[in-house]
A and B are shown apart, each in its own frame.
With several copies, the nearest count.
Chain A
Amino acid sequence: MSIARIVLGGEGGQGVQTIAEILAEAAYRSGLEALYIPNFGVEQRGGVSLAFVQLGDEVVAVPKFRRAQVVVALSDRAIQRTADYVTRETTFIYEASAAVDPSFLPREAGRLLPVPAVKLATEHLHPRVFNVLILGTVVGVVDMVEETALKAALEGLLGHKFALKPELRELNYRALGEGRELALTA
């Protein structure tokens, strides 16, 4: 696979764009080609937030695509909004802390990967690293991004928060790790 295409969807406050931005930045720092584009509408909050990331070893010229290798959906509404991107080749990652109506899940997906990230984050770590945990899972699935690049990207985006609360850095690393593990075991 020369370009990996990833769609992420979630509710306004769930941090989907942060996941996408760190992912893309990490790919770029890994020496890969990468392109990230958020979707954006007139609703600042309250709408479903989508992010599109492409990374690989050839130039990414077109920001949008129709089918994704990885789809991430963090809410019921997001599951519906991202369904069109799913094919037989798709790994479909979804938040599974609360009950998900199985009729919403895309049947054609090659692999369904439930991640109870809210639960895990809240129980082991901190609710706010929930999205970094998801990022870990995505990175685990895609498996093209270098660890150091990922940490550097994390630092770039969240460094100012780490500066204030250094323990956050460690928390985030652990979230990344737990997420990645889920990709391999689930």
Chain B
Amino acid sequence: MPEKQPRFLVRTYRDGKGIFHLFPSLCKGCGLCIEKCPVDTIGWSRELGFLGTPAVEPGHGKPCIACKLCELVCPDCAIYIEKVPVAHPTQAASSP
């Protein structure tokens, strides 16, 4: 059964510390994520969402800090944030 689940088209952006996955066929363009992003990186995209209204994308403000607030508040689960894997774990660990 899980195999039969529909795949949702994905647009993936890299922004700051975040890998920003956006599923346009889920995004209804409500803008809630835009308002919540602490670094204002989310803005309207040229891509159209589910209702023919613009979807969103990162890259409109300061770099993403991968706080996942946008993912949390999206009523449509249209955003999935992954943290950019830390390149040099040892280095990162030494600079708190």
A residues apposed to B, CB below 8 Å? 11-14, 45-46, 75, 98
Report the minimum CB–CB distance from B40 to chain A (whole Å). Answer: 23
Closest to A75 in B: B52
What residues on A are CB-neighbors of B53 within 8 Å? 13
Q: Does B51 contact A (CB under 8 A)?
A: yes
What residues on B are CB-neighbors of A12 within 8 Å? 51
Question: B-side binding surface: helix, strand, loop or mixed?
Answer: loop
Report the minimum CB–CB distance from A73 to chain B (whole Å). Answer: 13
CA distance A46 to B51 in the complex (A): 7
B residues apposed to A, CB below 8 Å? 48, 51-53
What residues on A are CB-neighbors of B52 within 8 Å? 11, 13-14, 75
Ordered by A's residue number, 8 sampled pairs between the chains whose C-beta atoms are within 8 Å are A11-B52, A12-B51, A13-B51, A13-B52, A13-B53, A45-B51, A46-B51, A75-B52
Q: Which of B48, B51, B52, B53 has most A Cβ within 10 Å?
A: B52
CA distance A13 to B53 in the complex (A): 8
CA distance A13 to B48 in the complex (A): 13
CA distance A75 to B51 in the complex (A): 9
Report the minimum CB–CB distance from A123 to chain B (whole Å). Answer: 13
Report the minimum CB–CB distance from B37 to chain A (whole Å). Answer: 23
Closest 9 CB pairs of A and B: A11-B51, A11-B52, A13-B51, A13-B53, A12-B51, A75-B52, A14-B52, A45-B51, A46-B51
With A11-B51, A13-B53, A98-B48 given, name 8 new contacts (CB 8 A): A11-B52, A12-B51, A13-B51, A13-B52, A14-B52, A45-B51, A46-B51, A75-B52
